[in-house]
Amino acid sequence: MRFAEFYNGSTGPHISFEVFPPKTDAAMESLRRVLPELIALGPSYMTVTYGALGSTRERTLEIAALIKHEYHMESACHLTCVGSSRADLDGILDAIRRSGIENIVALRGDPPRGETAFVPPPDGYSHGNELVAHIRRRYGAAFGIAVAGYPEKHLESPDRESDLRYFKNKIDAGADIAITQLFYDNADFFSFVEAARALGVTKPIIPGLLPILSAKQVRRITSLCGSKIPPTLQAELEAAGDDDSRAEEVGIRQCVAQAAELLRHGVPGIHFYVLNKSSHMRRILAQLRPVLAEIRQN
């Protein structure tokens, strides 16, 4: 089932999960244990990220295929333009297609560590919209395609207006949905969606949420992607200090409140960056279930 089919129906809102391919065999074993726990929480589909060069890349398809064929849950492979020529991308896309995966999250990717600017590989692509257009040209409607959206604008963007214009280009190139970068202030998401709609973007825009598990982790991730932490949340995390279990309590409370507000506002779904863990997601979804039931009934 492709992305569009989820969001065109009347069965939403859809909960989806994102996992990443682990670097070590031990972490891969741990993910294999966590996957059935995540699947038991009833997401509509799961996506698997694509590493910045290196060995984890092959695991993206391996994990997506495991989710699809062993657990009979729809999955998507993320794919970036980093380090791949068009022929390389075709090789990967052909393998994804052969394995029966029907959805791709198409991205430019970040510059490799130590480099500040993205340099397109020889005979490769410079931007997400080019990858989307390539997939549509070569594979027609065989894949559902998601692209990335940035409620607080992309880090490299000089201003919000140009970022929104390029976002629209990506959708117009043939994307079915957009999934957003993580954010902690719903006002940023609402204003991003409003501005995108004003530009003529009609496709579903799915908010991406990262439940906080530790103060250190959220500091690292937000510094990489540029998302800001609202002052009240920041103060609560500072009070938790290095006590991860206390920070996780703050994170779960905050995530439930943020997700409930988005759902009540009518979002088509929520994409959770689950960080290959399940216990926090079990608690978050237990608290969101009444909200989801209420919305699905109306």
Binding site for ligand FAD (CB under 6 A): 49-50, 52, 78, 80, 105, 107-110, 127-129, 148, 154, 156-157, 162-163, 166, 170, 179, 181, 208
Q: Is 249 exposed, middle or buried (0-12, 13-18, 19+ CB in 10 A)?
A: middle
The full length of the chain comes to 298
List the structure tokens of 115: 């480099």
Q: What is the CA radius of gyration of the chain?
A: 18
User: CB of 97: closest distance to ligand FAD in angstroms?
Assistant: 18
Q: Are 100 and 65 in contact (CB under 8 A)?
A: yes
User: CB of 162: closest distance to ligand FAD in angstroms?
Assistant: 6
CA 238 to CA 215: how far, in whole Å? 7
List the structure tokens of 72: 């009979």
User: CB of 76: closest distance to ligand FAD in angstroms?
Assistant: 10
Catalytic residue numbers read 18
Residue nearest to ligand FAD (CB): 128
User: CB of 297: closest distance to ligand FAD in angstroms?
Assistant: 29
For ligand FAD, the closer of residues 247 and 281 by Cβ is 281
User: CB of 169: closest distance to ligand FAD in angstroms?
Assistant: 6
